Chain A
Amino acid sequence: MNVSTGSGSNRLVIASFVLVFAVAAVTFGYTWQGQMAFIQRDDVTATATAYEVTSVENGTVTVRVRVDNPTSKPVTILGGSLFGKLDGEDVVREGTGAVPSERVPAGGSRTVTVECHFVDRDPSGATVERIRDGELRVVGLLSVRMVDQRFDVEVSP
């Protein structure tokens, strides 16, 4: 039952093919755009830009992390883990669920504030002083999602 040239059924089959092709092309276009952005996922960066000892009594340190997303798709921060190090030793880490969910637009950047805690509940005065002097080195990982694909972004100090 191949289509004979010029028949009515021929035109119907060709018209339906054009319609299917158009819908497939739109689906393909969006998917390919996602592929293009996902291949660039290594360009998404997270930087610990600032931190502050907010309360010595409660043992809290707030850290500001800026996420830059130069890709063509937005990414959503899902969570993560942060560590504040002094001489390579963890002295501060993020609280449970402390990394807020935030949508970083395509080609844009967002800064999130993460509340962290001292690992030692009763840190020494020298430790607090060194942190206040800016010696803390904040590193870690943020878990992010692009469309439905998850990946991790390293937090650099």
Chain B
Amino acid sequence: MTTFKRSLVEGWLRILLVGAATGILGGMGTFSYTRIDLSPFDAAWLPLVFVGLAGAYTHLLAADMRSGTIAMIVAFVVGAFTNIAAWTSPIFLLSYRGVARDLALMAQLQQSLISLLMVYLLIYLGGYFAAVTISGAFS
């Protein structure tokens, strides 16, 4: 493999790794914030900080602005999937069958999509663009 090809592969691997890791962080934070009343923790703001930091880390961990943008798209998809999986996975792990499973699944999907729009979209992108703006101002 030529040096050019190797650096290209490494670049894409880094984008995918950064996107996946920060996306999982954002997805976990979004779920934890929306269901904080089911956790033993009182600090409801803490998961929101995780979501905002996920956006900031996507930019900070990327090699440059261009790869950071691609990593942000990857992170957004991975985060959305993580959040939806966290909401719906108990339905599949528990012995729900037939109509009961479909009804429970629809209810959980609805809640997960609301949290994606109300929390993840705003806070994650807010963290990402804040990091881009601040780092741009000080570069």
Contacts and interface: CB of A to CB of B under 8 A. Distances in A.
A1 interface: yes
Interface in A13-71: 13-14, 17, 20-21, 23-25, 27-28, 30-32, 34-40
A149 interface: yes
Contacts, number: 99
Interface string B43-64: 0001100100100010111111
Given A13-B57, A31-B32, A1 B138 contact: yes
Interface residues of B, number: 41
B123 to A, nearest CB: 13
A128 B22 CA distance: 68
A124 interface: no
Interface of A: 1-5, 13-14, 17, 20-21, 23-25, 27-28, 30-32, 34-40, 146-149
A34 B41 CA distance: 11
Given A20-B50, A20-B53, A34 B28 contact: no
Contacts of B36: 31
B124 to A, nearest CB: 13
Nearest to B60: A13
Main DSSP-derived SS at the B contact region:
helix
Contacts of A5: 63
Given A24-B29, A35-B90, A39-B104, A3 B35 contact: no
Given A38-B38, A148-B38, A149-B38, A27 B60 contact: no
Interface in B73-132: 86-87, 89-91, 93-94, 104, 108
21 contacts: A1-B139, A2-B64, A3-B62, A3-B63, A4-B63, A13-B57, A21-B21, A21-B25, A24-B29, A24-B47, A27-B32, A27-B41, A30-B41, A32-B86, A32-B89, A34-B38, A35-B86, A35-B90, A36-B90, A39-B108, A146-B38
B28 A25 contact: yes
